[in-house]
Structure 1
Amino acid sequence: MNRTEALSAVEESLARIVPGADLTALRPEDPFREVLELDSLDFLRFVETLGERTGVSIDDADTPRLTTLSGCVGFLSADGA
């Protein structure tokens, strides 16, 4: 998966969890849990949705990397794995 595909998957997954959120306001290093006001359950749903959307297995140990757009893209993209 390239970086563009990874970013699209992250944005689509976030949009499913937080409908109507202004994702264009998110900067690559913004902690989206805070910016989008995701609680723990919302974040878990995001991780599950992202895994389903991409087919990538995401373990509990991987979740700290999934708190920003750049972290998610790095985790998902071929050059960041």
Structure 2
Amino acid sequence: MTRDEIKYMILDIIQDIDDEAEFDGLDEDKPLRDQLDLDSMDFLDIVMELRKRHKLQVPEEDYPQLATLMSCVNYLEPKLKDA
């Protein structure tokens, strides 16, 4: 997957979890939870969707690496390079 494909995949997962999520003006380098009003259950839903859709296991100690859209892309890119 390309970096853009990963970015859109994350946004698609967020949209599925919260259909009222607004991405206009989203800062890729600021925490998603703050910008999109995501709670801890929403975040766990994102992790579960990554597992379900792409067979990715994200260990709990890696959760901080999924804080921003760009950190998600940076973290997931090597894991999805062959996808």
Query: Shorter-normalised TM-score: what interval?
Result: 0.7 to 0.9
Structure 1 residue runs of 4 or more that deviate by more than 4 Å after TM superposition = none
Aligned pair count? Answer: 80
Structure 2 unaligned residues grouped into runs of 5+? none
Q: CA deviation at 1:47?
A: 1.5
Q: CA deviation at 1:75?
A: 0.8
Q: Please name the residue that 1:18 is paired with.
A: 18
Q: CA deviation at 1:66?
A: 0.5
Q: Give the Cα–Cα distance (whole angstroms) in 1 for the partners of residues 21 and 2 of structure 2.
A: 24
Let me know the Cα RMSD of the aligned residues.
1.9
Query: TM-score, normalised to structure 1's length?
Result: 0.84
Structure 1 unaligned residues grouped into runs of 5+? none
* Superposition map of 1:1-81 within 5 A: 1-78=1-78
Q: CA deviation at 1:35?
A: 1.1
